[in-house]
Amino acid sequence: MRKNAKNPKIVVIIGPTASGKSALAVKIAGKFNGEIVSADSRQIYRGMDIGTAKPTKKEMAGIKHHLIDIKNPNQDYSAGEYKKDAVKTINKITDAGKLPILVGGTGLYISTVVNNWAIPEIKESKKLRLKLEKEIDKKGLDFVFKKLIKIDPEAAYIIDPKNPRRVIRALEIALLSGKKFSEQRKVGEPLYNVLEIGLNPPLEILKERITKRIALMIKTGLINEVKRLVKKYGYKQRAFDAIDYREIIDYLRKNISLKESIMQMNTNTIRYAKRQMTWFKKYNSSAHWLKNPASLKLRRASKNEACLRRQAFGLVKKFLD
């Protein structure tokens, strides 16, 4: 918990993908008169619904959600832009006498708000990008990623190594600025009085949830969603390098089978979940990690949720009193 009596109070919910953050946020918002501010770098895009596990109207349960569906997949959106939008939104919620609840798995987005990071805007270099793209075509993505590890290991550790555009962008920022990620970000005075609540199910349970979620995505129309998006925007959009989209695009382009696509989605999502936890443990040291109930091992979903909810409610009540 970060205390500063002068600053407005906000609740932040963090954790890896498929840990139950969104559902818990809705319950807290309903109990404590709150509104939700999304901190998900994929849910900002219109039309990318199934593959991002975007909450449905039913799942939102009448709670207002902000910073979802604010951009088209062919539009860029930086962490700096997110910070401006999030701060503006949080302040409006506070002014209305409600509790802002920041929830999501994009660690950088959360840190710009919670830790008041200022991320410098480094302009793209077409010349450097072209050079790196040619290098990837010639020597492979792993070769270029290893280059990033040498130049800026911290940046390499937090990005998706299988996402060529993220790798290129990280290298571009490091090479053009001449500074490492840790040297670029500037930490300002706290903007808010923050209560951070963390969810971190055991890895075996998380893997099981991820497998079920991906199966449900396929069943509920992810392939058709990707087809529609590609037809409208083309497949060379940065947004489509996201996990669950790039694997389906590879399948649609006949580079891999559907079975291989699903296997890759599972593997890449689990790796992503591990990277998320690495980030949160490093940059969100004040978080209160909820204790996983014993019933979690028995897959008693309703009891698990009730136990976690009670812990969260207790923390929020104490924080607001």
Residue 299, phi-psi category: left (phi > 0), alpha (psi -120 to 50), beta (remainder)? left
Q: Is 21 annotated as a binding residue?
A: yes
Q: Is 303 annotated as a binding residue?
A: no
Q: Is 140 annotated as a binding residue?
A: no
Please work out, in degrees rounded to the nearest 5, the angle formed at the alpha carbon of residue 48 by the alpha carbons of 42 and 49. 100
Q: Is 15 annotated as a binding residue?
A: yes
101 and 10 in contact (C-beta within 8 Å)? yes
Q: Is 131 annotated as a binding residue?
A: no
Q: Whole-angstrom Cα distance, residue 265 to residue 117?
A: 31
Q: Is 188 annotated as a binding residue?
A: no
Q: Is 19 annotated as a binding residue?
A: yes
DSSP 245-306: THHHHHHHTTSS-HHHHHHHHHHHHHHHHHHHHHHHHHH-TT-EEPPPPGGGGGT-HHHHHH
Q: Quick count: other Cβ atoms within 10 Å of Cβ 298? A: 10
Q: Is 164 annotated as a binding residue?
A: no
Binding residues: 15-22
Binding residues for ATP: 15-22
Binding residues for substrate: 17-22
